[in-house]
Amino acid sequence: GPVARMGTELRCQCIATHSKFIPPKSIQDVRLTQSGPHCKNVEVIATLKDGREVCLEPTAPWVQLIIKAILAK
Amino acid sequence: GPVARMGTELRCQCIATHSKFIPPKSIQDVRLTQSGPHCKNVEVIATLKDGREVCLEPTAPWVQLIIKAILAK
């Protein structure tokens, strides 16, 4: 919900990560959240252009490539 | 504002980017937003642990290193 988006998460937001490749062009934004007292995991949440939110695996090479692709545009 | 956080930005969110290095440990999360009809720029917005939001330059090497550091944790 909106609270999670204000940088005040009280717990982990992802219970599982999406394992299939998502083309960068279908992604609107990607949020990387550091681990901390609220959650021991780094979390990567992509918002797709259709409004869906999906959790991605921070260490997956394709996730890192997508992030690199967004930054390089 | 909250609307910007819902992936429905109607315009660019950043009017300038922070040029000085920010230590990854002071960053809570980083949001990468693709360019699109709402904004011709890729935008990188960091939320700091003190709640401040700062726009970062997507192509700056230190910004890319910070993102890599978050993902690698």
ipTM score:
0.82
Q: How far apart are the first and last CA of chain A?
A: 29
The structure's pTM equals: 0.85
How far apart, in whole angstroms, are the C-alpha atoms of residue A52 and residue B45?
20
Task: Find which of B14, B25, B29 to mutate to test the A interface (most A CBs within 10 Å of its CB).
Answer: B29
Residue B66 pLDDT: 94
Q: Is B31 within 8 Å of A35 when comparing Cβ atoms?
A: no
Which stretches within A1-73 are classed as H helix?
2-5, 61-72
All residue ranges of chain B with pLDDT < 50 are 1-7
Q: Is A56 on the interface with B (CB under 8 A)?
A: no
Per residue in A47-67, pLDDT (tens digit) is: 999 999 999 999 999 999 999
